[in-house]
Structure 1
Amino acid sequence: MTSLKMDENVLKNPLPEGSVQFLPFSIKFNGETQISERFSSQTQHSKQKQCLVNTFRGYPLEGEVLQAPAGYTGVVLDTGRQGLTEEKSNIRVVGSFPSFTYWNYDKVPGETDNYRQAVQWIKVAEALHESD
């Protein structure tokens, strides 16, 4: 069984706008780096593509700022895991956010993205529960 630990101040004090990025890859790095200087400051808006553009290690990224679904708040979790297969029974909520920047590899974000499709299930589930 997994337990989730959260201080209520995490929800009262969300992370600053633009500090949460959903990237289409994982990074095998555990430590601090200069995200603002090395990544965030390089983000631009492309009028041609009508989205945000950036690169990571030479790979083109296209993105947009998305809001959490109405009535929901995003959270940042610290699992304490070193690998994907290691199970963890205690997870801490270390941050919350109302919006985040969603990135794709060399593809403008759209309705066919996995995240957007997952959010659609929230609406389906709410509609099903309303009919009970």
Structure 2
Amino acid sequence: MALNVKVNLPDQSCNANSVIHSMPCKIHHDGEANITGFFSPYVENKDTDFIDKADTVLEASFRGYPLQGKKIKIPNSFKGIVVNEMKKPLTDMEPRNLNIKKTFCEITYWNWDCFPNKNDSIHQSVDWLLLSKMIHETA
């Protein structure tokens, strides 16, 4: 089934001050959240002898669960966006209108069961963006 989506995209560059985290959990809430009481600040992990030294692994905890994370920059020719849908359509045939709530240049993603690596889906997504651009660019 094809999706009919209209994104209201204002002309703005990515916001370097936006802090975006991808967490390995599902929370049944839609909207703003005050996470400061549940998500402790991250620290650099210096004891990672078995991973690439160029990668800085971050450590944090969420509600007592330990997390390992990594920051990923969005490629220069792309922009990360957070969208908001005010009203969902009644049928699949109607277009969905999404408004941009925030833009970002970098995302921090977290794993709870392993150290971040190139096989994580978020890494593969960024790699696919670059590969797709190369394939579809006109010479």
TM-score under structure 2 length normalisation: 0.72
The ranges of structure 1 where at least 4 consecutive aligned residues each deviate by more than 6 angstroms after the TM superposition are none
The Cα offsets for residues 57-116 of structure 1, whole Å up to 9 and x where unpaired, read as: 22221101110023111001113479xxx9671111111011111111131111111111
The aligned length equals 125
1:99 to 2:106 alignment: yes
User: What is the match of residue 28 of structure 1?
Assistant: 28
In the TM superposition, 1:7-18 aligns within 5 A as 7-8=10-11, 11-12=12-13, 14=15, 16-17=17-18
Determine the C-alpha separation between the residues in 2 that align with 1:6 and 1:128. Answer: 24
Give 5+ residue unaligned stretches, structure 1.
Answer: none
The alpha-carbon deviation at position 128 of structure 1 amounts to 2.7
Give 5+ residue unaligned stretches, structure 2.
Answer: 49-55
Give the AA of the match of 1:25.
Answer: C
Determine the C-alpha separation between the residues in 2 that align with 1:7 and 1:130. Answer: 23
Residue identity over aligned pairs, in percent, reads 26
Give the RMSD, CA atoms, in angstroms.
2.8
Determine the C-alpha separation between the residues in 1 that align with 2:127 and 2:108. Answer: 18
Paired residues of 1:76 and 1:95 also in contact (CA < 8 A): yes
TM-score under structure 1 length normalisation: 0.75
**Larger relative helix fraction:** 1
Structure whose alpha-carbon radius of gyration is higher: 2
User: What is the match of residue 117 of structure 2?
Assistant: 110
Determine the C-alpha separation between the residues in 2 that align with 1:28 and 1:3. Answer: 25
